[in-house]
Structures are given as structure tokens and as C-alpha cells.
């Protein structure tokens, strides 16, 4: 069973990558790793909650794929009437997963104004600078803290 502390550690790693590692190694790879760690943290959080409910007998099985796990997670939280916009979180998480699976390249690497450009499967390119990645990281931490209180 995935422990909630594993999810916290992934979030902490994303934070460290952004605030410490990026200062010394200004590459798009570091920005991509931040996104990867955020996705991993949310996957572990969702899996923790579903496994907990499975062991309590509240659900019959834990779905195999992350997409199915997310759908079940959202449905369960909506049924609990949590004071939190679960659908908004789901959209945020799906956006992060889409970025994780996308091709990427860096602009202005090794400089202060580093940017990462994601090439989506649709052919569209999305460009993020470090400020945008920082905003994504902070939003992810807010979501994580709220969800952590709900799933405990």
C-alpha cells in the first residue's frame, strides 16, 4: 500500500528541485522533473486514498490505470460532499499529466530567463517560464494540503 508520506516526499522533492537545484542547474530538464514529481505526488495521494477505502471495504477494487483511479477518486469525494472543487483539481492534475507525457525543449537554458516549451500531441506548443512553473508548484502544494486533510 502506498503510504501518504511517500506522496509528501514527492512533493518535497518537487519543491527542492525548483527552489534549490534550479539555482545551480538552469535547464529545462529540471523544470520537467518538477512537473513529473508533482504528478507522482498526486498519483500516490490518490492511490493511498483508494487503497485505504479498499481495505475498509468501501470500494470493491482499486482501478489499475491512473485515469480510472482519478475518476473514482473524484466520484468518491463528490459523494462525500467535501467543501472543495474536486473537478477543478482533476482538470489541474490532467493538465500536469498531459505535460508529463509531452515532448519538451528548453529556451534560454543556463540563463536567468529559462523557459520550457511543451509540444503537445495535438502539435500545439505551450511555453512556460520559471514564474509560471512556480505558480503551478504553489497551486499544487495548496491542492495537496487540502486533499491531505480530506483523505486522512
Backbone angles phi, psi at 129, to 5 degrees: -100, 180
pLDDT in tens, 90-112: 999 999 999 999 999 999 998 88
Give a yes or no: residue 113 inside a domain: no
Provide the pLDDT for residue 84: 87
Q: Which residues contact 92 (CB under 8 A, 6 or more apart)?
A: 139, 140, 143
Beta-ladder partners of 106: 116
Q: Average of pLDDT values for 62-80?
A: 95
Query: Domain residues for 86?
Result: 4-100+130-151
C-alpha cell at 79: 459523494
pLDDT for res 112: 85
Q: What is the pLDDT of residue 111?
A: 86
109 domain residue, yes or no:
no
CA distances (Å), origin 120, targets 42, 127, 129: 21, 11, 17
Contact between residue 30 and residue 79 where contact means Cβ atoms under 8 Å apart: no
What pLDDT digit, counting tens, does each position of 23-69 carry?
999 999 999 999 999 999 999 999 999 999 999 999 999 999 999 99
Total of domains in the chain: 1
Residue 14 is predicted with a pLDDT of 98
Q: What pLDDT, on the 0 to 100 scale, is given for residue 145? A: 95
d(CA 69, CA 152): 17
Tens of pLDDT, residues 104-150:
999 999 888 899 999 999 999 999 999 999 999 999 999 999 999 99
Q: What is the pLDDT of residue 2?
A: 62
105 falls within a domain? no
- Asked if residue 38 is part of any domain, the answer here is yes
Amino acid at each position: 500500500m502506498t503510504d501518504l508520506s511517500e506522496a509528501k516526499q514527492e512533493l518535497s522533492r518537487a519543491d527542492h528541485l525548483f527552489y534549490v537545484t534550479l539555482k545551480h542547474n538552469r535547464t529545462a530538464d529540471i523544470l520537467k522533473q518538477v512537473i513529473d514529481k508533482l504528478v507522482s505526488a498526486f498519483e500516490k495521494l490518490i492511490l493511498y486514498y483508494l487503497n485505504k477505502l479498499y481495505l475498509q471495504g468501501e470500494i470493491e477494487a482499486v482501478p489499475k490505470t491512473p485515469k480510472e483511479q482519478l475518476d473514482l477518486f473524484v466520484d468518491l469525494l463528490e459523494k462525500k460532499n467535501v467543501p472543495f472543487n474536486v473537478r477543478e483539481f482533476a482538470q489541474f492534475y490532467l493538465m500536469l499529466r498531459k505535460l508529463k507525457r509531452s515532448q519538451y525543449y528548453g529556451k534560454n537554458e543556463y540563463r536567468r530567463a529559462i523557459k520550457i516549451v511543451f509540444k503537445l500531441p495535438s502539435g500545439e506548443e505551450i511555453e512556460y517560464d520559471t514564474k509560471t512553473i512556480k505558480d503551478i508548484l504553489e497551486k499544487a502544494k495548496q491542492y495537496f494540503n487540502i486533499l491531505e486533510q480530506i483523505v486522512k
